[in-house]
Structure 1
Amino acid sequence: MFRCQFNGIKALSRSISFTLRKPAPSTLSRGVLVFPSSINKTVPFGPHSQPKKELKCFFSSTALGSARARFRTTQKEPPPQPPLEPEPAPEYHDPPDLPPNEPKRKEPGSGLVKIFLAITVPILLLSVSGDFVRMTVTREEVCEALGLDPTVRPGPKYYDEYIRRYKPEKVFWLNLSEKIKLNFSFCAHNAVGEGESFRWWTPLTAQFNHGGLLHLFVCYTTLKAFAPVLVQLYGNRVTGTIFVAGGIMAQAFVALFEKSVNPFVAMSQEKILNKVKSGLTKDEESQLRRAISFAMGSSTSLMAMGTICAIVWPAMKLNLMFIPIGIPIRTALGAVVAFDIGGMFYDYGIPIGHSGHIGGAIAGVIMYALWIRKLPTVFQRRIAQAMNGRGINIR
């Protein structure tokens, strides 16, 4: 109920009361009561009035009794807003370079690769030091001093004999090269042969000696392919253990396999010399060469690592030199295994330790079945540590 009193109007002798419907405060900004009249009076707008809200009343002196009230609301229209301009498309910017003080992230497995190079490169240089010494002597000097035919190239033993006789200052490097080869190479005949003194450390040290720069380069690139995968999954310690244990197990397989199929492995040196004097067939020459040859290189360890990578990450692809497409690891590993199985029973004429490669693959399968598959990955260990830090025990 709103009561409006109008005083000072001569035509009215008493107060006039009228009833209005209360408007909703949330929808009205100004109320106007309109009558067809020329008398204008402005009064406040009810109990919820605000300073800027007013009620305008218009009255007619001749039609007060039958006046009809109409109520309307007026609002101030907001000022027109300028049209919104379309936002420009975000521009692509290259990621900012790291600050000079912030170190760059290292590739997983780079530490193991550096340790591998720090050990293998000096051993390789010392191992081939005898070859460098032989290069300082010409063929004419050797043939003239030893009375050999100058038209025929003499073998390494003649160069060594000449150096020991006439170049005593270079004998040290020949002896050092021979000692490195004996202590950093594995020989099946020395391991299981009759009357031989086995150097028990050679299955480990043979993994860090290589036959030349090309052999070392191939093993280095292969290690760079397998090490990041295993380090991301299991960490540096597990990856290093796989490398060392795989090589040792592979050399043990070589000794057992050659002893079972090669009769020269178990013979003593006297029996071998008597057999050579009596004459050898082509197959026997191949067997003798495998029995007394020195195996070296990290390819046995890399075969174990590659086998585990093929099991835990079958989608991995290898980018080989001079091949523009990636080869699935299982396809590449299967081809290498098939080639090595053939080389174990047929002589390709290539100085490759086929039985060592097969031993490395078998070692990888054994290590995965008995050890690796039971280990949590690095990501699983981090999740467990985070959950345990919040008081949630994970079994």
Structure 2
Amino acid sequence: MSPVVLAFLMINGAVFALWIWLGQSPFMLDNFLVSADALRAGRWWTLLASEFSHLLFIHFFLNMYVLATFGPIVEKTIGSRRFLGFYLAAAIVASLGHAAVSAFLLGHPELPALGASGAISGVILLFAFLYPEARLLLLGIIPMPALVGAAVFVGLDVVGLVAQTEGGGLPIGHGAHLGGALTGTLYYLLVIRPLLVHRSTGPTDFGDVATWRRRIEEQHLLEIRKRDW
């Protein structure tokens, strides 16, 4: 397990334990949920705190499973320092995405959100751009290249968000997912891709993408299921 991912797993575990210990107390509700109203009230730390927060075990388990699956590969590819900055940026943009969607598209600025899935969506997209041919099992049964799977993942969130704007859909933070996915896409295009293109010009601490691509191709299919996470 890579160090930053391990630290994130531990932080998520600690906050989950806080939810079990304190329950839905005013302290937890005020500090570990993000909403447009919370940001208007000046609780800006919830942009990050909510992305390490899970109230239900199944929510916590699925998010940590996906993070532990994709996170170490991405971290070892781009380096721990870059991964740390990227993940935190994806978390913030994901929370902003939820706040913007709930306030301006759904008309419910009070709607709270929590969970790491926004930031993890960014990790999935970055993984897909780094290793587009890696095979994933969508829904556990449908094999497809990572980049195609990521596109399907984003497409489902777009469809879900449209359904929510029409009064339907599921209680899923599509705005957060799309915000994280946008961060992963832009980070690859603006930061990582230039490093890959110019890697031969001199020494760099950037990871060996070719080596990791070979390792992934030699492994069994990676599995990712589109769930309510």
Identify the structure with bigger relative contact order (alpha carbons < 8 Å, sequence gap 6+): 2
1:229-262 CA-partner distances (Å, limit 9, x unpaired): 2223211111121111111012222323333323
Cα distance in 1, alignment partners of residues 100 and 139 from structure 2: 34
Sort the Cα spacing of 1:375 and 1:354 in 2 relative to 1 into closer, same or farther, 3 A: same
Shift of 1:349: 4.9
Instruction: Give runs of aligned pairs for residues 15-94 of structure 1, distance below 5 A.
Output: none
Asked whether 1:253 is paired with 2:97, we answer yes
User: Any unmatched runs of 5+ in structure 2?
Assistant: 205-229
Please say if residues 52 and 116 of structure 2, whose CA atoms lie closer than 8 Å, have aligned partners that are also in contact.
yes
1:284-338 CA-partner distances (Å, limit 9, x unpaired): xxxxxxxx23211111111111111111210122346753x64422232222212
SS in 1 for 2:203: helix
Q: Detail structure 1 runs of 4+ shifted over 4 Å in the superposition.
A: 319-322
Aligned equivalent of 2:217 = none
Computing the radius of gyration over CA atoms, which structure comes out larger, 1 or 2? Answer: 1
Q: Look up the equivalent residue of 2:106 and give its one-letter code.
A: N
Q: Which residue among 290, 300, 305 is the counterpart of 2:118? A: 300
Cα distance in 1, alignment partners of residues 126 and 82 from structure 2: 12
Please say if residues 138 and 149 of structure 2, whose CA atoms lie closer than 8 Å, have aligned partners that are also in contact.
no
Q: Look up the equivalent residue of 2:76 and give its one-letter code.
A: Q
Q: Which residue among 57, 62, 72 is the counterpart of 1:228? A: 72
Q: Which residue among 188, 192, 199 is the counterpart of 1:368? A: 188
The sequence identity of aligned pairs, in percent, is 28
Q: Which residue among 83, 88, 110 is the counterpart of 1:244? A: 88
Q: Which residue among 181, 186, 191 is the counterpart of 2:34? A: 186
TM-score with structure 1 length normalisation?
Answer: 0.46
Shift of 1:361: 0.9
Please say if residues 226 and 309 of structure 1, whose CA atoms lie closer than 8 Å, have aligned partners that are also in contact.
yes
Instruction: Give runs of aligned pairs for residues 286-325 of structure 1, distance below 5 A.
Output: 292-319=110-137, 322-323=140-141
How many pairs are equivalent?
199
Aligned equivalent of 1:335 = 152
Shift of 1:376: 5.4
Q: Look up the equivalent residue of 2:36 and give its one-letter code.
A: A
Cα distance in 2, alignment partners of residues 116 and 350 from structure 1: 27
Asked whether 1:352 is paired with 2:172, we answer yes
SS in 2 for 1:375: helix
1:353-386 CA-partner distances (Å, limit 9, x unpaired): 0111111111112222222223359xx59x837x
Please say if residues 254 and 355 of structure 1, whose CA atoms lie closer than 8 Å, have aligned partners that are also in contact.
yes
Aligned equivalent of 1:201 = 45
User: Any unmatched runs of 5+ in structure 1?
Assistant: 1-106, 130-172, 266-291, 386-395
Cα distance in 2, alignment partners of residues 115 and 260 from structure 1: 34
Please say if residues 314 and 328 of structure 1, whose CA atoms lie closer than 8 Å, have aligned partners that are also in contact.
yes
Cα distance in 1, alignment partners of residues 80 and 23 from structure 2: 37
Q: Which residue among 61, 65, 76 is the counterpart of 1:217? A: 61
Please say if residues 127 and 181 of structure 1, whose CA atoms lie closer than 8 Å, have aligned partners that are also in contact.
no
Asked whether 1:121 is paired with 2:13, we answer yes
Cα distance in 2, alignment partners of residues 322 and 365 from structure 1: 24
Aligned equivalent of 2:219 = none
Please say if residues 98 and 113 of structure 2, whose CA atoms lie closer than 8 Å, have aligned partners that are also in contact.
no
Sort the Cα spacing of 1:384 and 1:329 in 2 relative to 1 into closer, same or farther, 3 A: same
Shift of 1:128: 3.1
Q: Look up the equivalent residue of 1:340 and give its one-letter code.
A: D
TM-score with structure 2 length normalisation?
Answer: 0.76
Q: Look up the equivalent residue of 2:203 and give its one-letter code.
A: A
Cα distance in 2, alignment partners of residues 234 and 338 from structure 1: 26
Please say if residues 120 and 209 of structure 1, whose CA atoms lie closer than 8 Å, have aligned partners that are also in contact.
yes
Please say if residues 300 and 356 of structure 1, whose CA atoms lie closer than 8 Å, have aligned partners that are also in contact.
yes
Cα distance in 2, alignment partners of residues 232 and 255 from structure 1: 32
Sort the Cα spacing of 1:356 and 1:336 in 2 relative to 1 into closer, same or farther, 3 A: same
Please say if residues 127 and 178 of structure 1, whose CA atoms lie closer than 8 Å, have aligned partners that are also in contact.
no
